[in-house]
Amino acid sequence: MTNNALATKPHYPILDGLRGIAAIIVVTFHLAEPFSTSNLDKFVNHGYLAVDFFFLLSGFVIGYAYDDRWPKTTASSFFKRRIIRLQPMVILGMTLGAIGFYFTDSTLWPLIHTVPVWKMLLVMLIGYTILPIPLSLDIRGWQEMHPMNSVGWSLFFEYIANILYAVWIRKFSKTALGILVGMSAIALAHLAISNGDVSGGWTLNVEQVRIGLTRVMYPFFAGLLLSRIAKPTRIKNAFLWCSLLVAIVLYMPRIGGAEQVWMNGIYDSVCIIIIFPLIVYIGASGVMQSQRENKVCKFLGEISYPLYLVHYPIVYFYVAWISNNKGLTITQALPYALLILIGSIILAYTALKWYDEPVRKWLQKRFK
C-alpha cells in the first residue's frame, strides 16, 4: 500500500514488483519508438498496454485498501491521500521537462525556439495540476496534454477514475459493478478492434479523450471488482511466471498488418480483458520464495512510479538526438538507450529517497 495508515493490511509485494517490471518495459518502449514509422512496425510493439495494466493494478489496490474503510473515512480524506501520493512526483516530472525544454530543440519540434519563457512556465504550472492543456498551448507540437512530460496524460485519467470511485462507484454492489465492467469491456473491445489497438488518449480533443476514458474505465473498475470477488490462493513462483507473462504480452510483435488491424485489436482486447486480471490474481496469490525475491519486488515497486514520471523528460533529449542524426539505426543507438534506461532507474530511486518520500512524509504530517 502507499500510506502508513493502511499498513495494517497484508501487503501484495508481487504486485509491486510487477508494476516495476511494466514501468521498465515502458521505458524500453519509448526508447525504441523513434525507430518506427507507425504502430505497425514498433520494436516494443505492445508497450502501450502497460498503461492499461497500471490502471488495473490501481483499481485492485484502491479497492483492497479503501473499500472497507468508507464508514471511517470521507471522500475528501481519500482525495487528500491520493494527492499526497501522486502529486509530488507529477510536479518533479513537469519541472524536469521544463528544465530540459529549450535544450531539446530539433527538426521534430521547430516551435521550441520560438516559445516565450512565460508560456513555457504557464504550461509547466498547469502541468503541476495534471489538468490537460488546450491545443492552443501546445508548445512542443506533438499535441500532448502535457508537453513538459508526455506521460502525464495517464495520470489525468487515473484521477478521473479515482474521483468516480470515491463519489459514486464505491457504493455499487458487486452486481452493479459487474454490469459496469461488462459494458466497459464491450466499449474497450469495440475501440481496440475498430482502431486496431487501444493506443491513444494523450491529446485534448473529443476522439482522444474518448480513447482515454475507454482505456481507464474497464481496467480500473475490473481491478476494483477483482479485489472484491477474488479469493487468492497460494501460488509458488508467481512473481517469475507473472513477470514472464507481462514481458511476453508487452513485447509481442504486432498481430496482423495494415489490412487486418482487427486482429491486433482482438489481441489488445484479450490481453486487457482476460490476461491482465489473470496476472493480477496470480500475483495477489503469490508466495514469496525468498528474502531476495522480496527485496527485488520491494525495489521494483518503489521505483515504478518515479521511473514512469521522470524518464520521459530524458527521452525527449534522446528523440531529439536521433532526429538530428538522420540514418541512425537502433543498433547504433542501443548503447545510449541502455545508458538512459539505467540512468532513469538511478534518477527514479534518487528522486524517491531524496524528494518523494520526504515530501510525502511532510505532507502527511501537515495535513493529517
Q: Percent of the chain, pLDDT > 70?
A: 98
Cα of 55 vs its chain's centroid, Å: 7
pLDDT digits (tens, 9 = 90+) for 169-218: 999 999 999 999 999 999 999 999 999 999 999 999 999 999 999 999 99
Q: Where are the domains of the chain?
A: 4-366
- Residue 188 CA: distances (Å) to CA of 52, 173, 222, 264: 11, 22, 12, 13
pLDDT-derived band at 39 (thresholds 50, 70, 90) equals confident
pLDDT digits (tens, 9 = 90+) for 236-278: 999 999 999 999 999 999 999 888 999 999 999 999 999 999 9
Q: Does residue 37 carry a pLDDT above 90?
A: no
pLDDT, position 107: 84
Q: Which helix (H) or strand (E) holds 351?
A: helix 330-351
Mean pLDDT score of the chain: 95
Helix (H, G, I), strand (E, B) or coil at 235: strand
In degrees to the nearest 10, what's the CA dihedral of 245, 21, 343, 58? Answer: 140
Altogether, the residues listed in the chain come to a count of 368
Q: Does residue 336 carry a pLDDT above 50?
A: yes
Q: Does residue 219 carry a pLDDT above 50?
A: yes
